[in-house]
Amino acid sequence: MTINIPNTDLERIVIVGGGFAGLELAQRVAKMNFQVVLIDKNNYHQFQPLFYQVAMAGLEPSSIAFPLRKAFQKKKNVFIRVTTVESVDTNEKEIQTTLGTLRYDYLVLAIGVDTNFFGNENIAQKAFSMKSVSEALYLRNAILSDYERAVTTTDFDERQGLIDIIIVGGGPTGVEVAGALAEMKKYILPKDYNELNCDEIDIYLIQSSDCLLKGMSTEASEGAAQFLKELGVIVKLNTRVEDFDGSFVYMNDGSKIQGNKMIWAAGIRGNTVKGLPENSIVRGNRIKVDRFNQVEGVDRVFAIGDIAYMEEEEYPKGHPQVAQVAIQQGKNLAKNFKLLPQGKPLRAFTYRDLGSMATIGRNRAVVDLPSYKFKGFFAWIIWLFVHLFSLVGIKNRLFVFINWVWNYMTYDQSLRLIIQPKTKEKIVSTEEKKQS
């Protein structure tokens, strides 16, 4: 079966993935003389840096998601298809999806990454991760449900398992989650769950290396550690998690921590698609590309964003897997698609590092700029505005801004809802009761 896309005289660019890289590219080539097909397993773009705020009940998921079709309502040459790519046939220049096959003239893989559990099946099955809006909501439900149970639990050990939370991974995600949880413990939980002794709640951040925020400066690492200490987070460095059975987290030093919830933010791994040459897949399941983002050894197939592994002089081991790299690669590839029909030389990609940042709760953040490093309140303001203006859609920016302002003024939010999906069986049962 073939996916129904109108045939035209225009060359067809198929972009797989509507993340930072894929959406940036699609928006730019949509203005050119191409037919563009954007494929994603969801019908919306997700703003990943704020997943943790959805999980901590600070933002609604709709505030950080943007419908893909809305972004291209006025572009008659752009077609959106919600499906999953199963394989690529580079000889026939077509892809196989769950909807059927699709021909391409140019294929761009912006398929991103997923959580890397390093082969540990127990952790993969029982730990929480945050690589999608749905996973963030699932974590939010679990946290709030456990606190509801803890209110009526009299056994101390059982209650500790419900209220303590362990975060694994001291990168930006782990640090930001730990800070948000610590602020929830300090400002929210005593009001919502005044029957609980919130001093019993322990929040752990476990990092296998000797510092937090390893990709950032020493000043940022030390600043983040200090901020977390002030918030009461228990930081364990040089400690590797080896297993998790759903009740205890086991470390390489023989120690263990009780906790029903472990949030895994310790690694990422590229998503896979069959059909590419084996020698084009490198460490971390990334796709090796040249300086023009073309997959090595494959004609007319490109990879951009987190999935792309490109070596340049300043980054001999590949670029950091961050949003700025993805956006810049999307922009550069769009410029090359403009040059291709003209037969002009393509522009090699060079990453321009605009800086790194992480927030650790209210008034606390660390920022590394190319020529300046700072922390504290001003860094936090910079973090807020950078993330606010990076969101897609004016409405989303407005809603997030209002939520942040309200939260800052009141130390509270009204988003702590446990929304459990209803199964088909339950719906049928309900309808039968109505009829009887």
Q: Above 70 in pLDDT, residue 436?
A: no
Q: How many CB atoms lie within 10 A of CB 20?
A: 29
Please give the pLDDT value at position 409: 86
Single-letter code of the amino acid located at 385? F
Please give the pLDDT value at position 18: 96
Tens-place pLDDT, residues 329-342: 999 999 999 999 88
Helix (H, G, I), strand (E, B) or coil at 154: coil
Helix (H, G, I), strand (E, B) or coil at 268: strand
Q: Above 50 in pLDDT, residue 430?
A: no
Instruction: Tell me where in the chain the CATH 3.50.50.100 domain(s) lie.
Output: 121-266+362-410
Alpha-carbon span 298 to 138, nearest angstrom: 39
- Residue 158: CA count within 13 A, CB half-sphere: 7
Q: Which of 40, 110, 51, 2 is nearest to 326 (CA)?
A: 110
Q: 121-266+362-410: what CATH class? A: alpha beta
Tens-place pLDDT, residues 302-354: 999 999 999 999 999 999 999 999 999 999 999 999 999 888 999 999 999 99
> What is the pLDDT averaged over residues 142-159?
94
Alpha carbon of residue 353 to chain centroid:
20
Q: Which residue has the higher pLDDT, 412 or 426?
A: 412
Please write down the long-range contacts of 215-218, taking CB distance under 8 Å and 24 or more positions apart: 215/171, 215/320, 215/356, 216/356, 216/358, 216/366, 216/368, 217/368, 217/373
- Exposure string of 354-364, with b = 16+ CB inside 10 Å and e = fewer, is eebbbbbbbeb
Edge-to-edge strands, sheet with 78-82: 78-82, 35-40, 12-16, 106-109, 301-303
Q: Which residue has the higher pLDDT, 170 or 415?
A: 170
Alpha-carbon span 398 to 389, nearest angstrom: 10
Alpha-carbon span 15 to 19, nearest angstrom: 11
Q: Above 60 in pLDDT, residue 435?
A: no
Helix (H, G, I), strand (E, B) or coil at 291: coil
Q: For tokens 């129904």, name the residue.
A: 4
DSSP string, 79-124: EEEE--EEEEETTTTEEEETTEEEE-SEEEE---EEE--TT-HHHH
Q: How confident is residue 431, by pLDDT bands cut at 50, 70 and 90?
A: very low
Please give the pLDDT value at position 434: 44
Q: What percent of the chain has pLDDT over 90?
A: 85
Alpha-carbon span 287 to 180, nearest angstrom: 34
Please give the pLDDT value at position 22: 97
Please give the pLDDT value at position 425: 55
Q: How confident is residue 415, by pLDDT bands cut at 50, 70 and 90?
A: confident
Q: Above 70 in pLDDT, residue 231?
A: yes
Q: What is the 3-state secondary structure (H, E, C) of 2-58?
A: ECCCCCCCCCEEEEECCCHHHHHHHHHHCCCCCEEEEEECCCEEECHHHHHHHHCCC
Please give the pLDDT value at position 422: 65
Please give the pLDDT value at position 96: 96
Please give the pLDDT value at position 416: 80
Please give the pLDDT value at position 90: 94
Homologous superfamily of the 12-41+83-115+269-342 domain (CATH) = FAD/NAD(P)-binding domain (3.50.50.60)
Q: What mean pLDDT value characterizes the chain?
A: 92
Q: Above 90 in pLDDT, residue 139?
A: yes
Q: What is the pTM of this model?
A: 0.91
CB 322 within 8 A of CB 329: no
Alpha-carbon span 233 to 214, nearest angstrom: 18
As given in the structure block, the two tokens for residue 295 are: 């997959």
> What is the pLDDT averaged over residues 358-386?
94
Alpha carbon of residue 158 to chain centroid:
32
Tens-place pLDDT, residues 33-70: 999 999 999 999 999 999 999 999 889 889 999 999 99
Please give the pLDDT value at position 412: 79
Q: How confident is residue 427, by pLDDT bands cut at 50, 70 and 90?
A: very low
Helix (H, G, I), strand (E, B) or coil at 61: helix
As given in the structure block, the two tokens for residue 279 are: 């020698």
Q: For tokens 């303001």, name the residue.
A: 381
Please give the pLDDT value at position 121: 94
Q: Above 90 in pLDDT, residue 429?
A: no
Please give the pLDDT value at position 301: 97
Single-letter code of the amino acid located at 61? P
Instruction: Tell me where in the chain the CATH 3.50.50.60 domain(s) lie.
Output: 12-41+83-115+269-342
- Exposure string of 333-343, with b = 16+ CB inside 10 Å and e = fewer, is bbebbbeeeee
Q: What percent of the chain has pLDDT over 70?
A: 96
Q: How many CB atoms lie within 10 A of CB 118?
A: 12
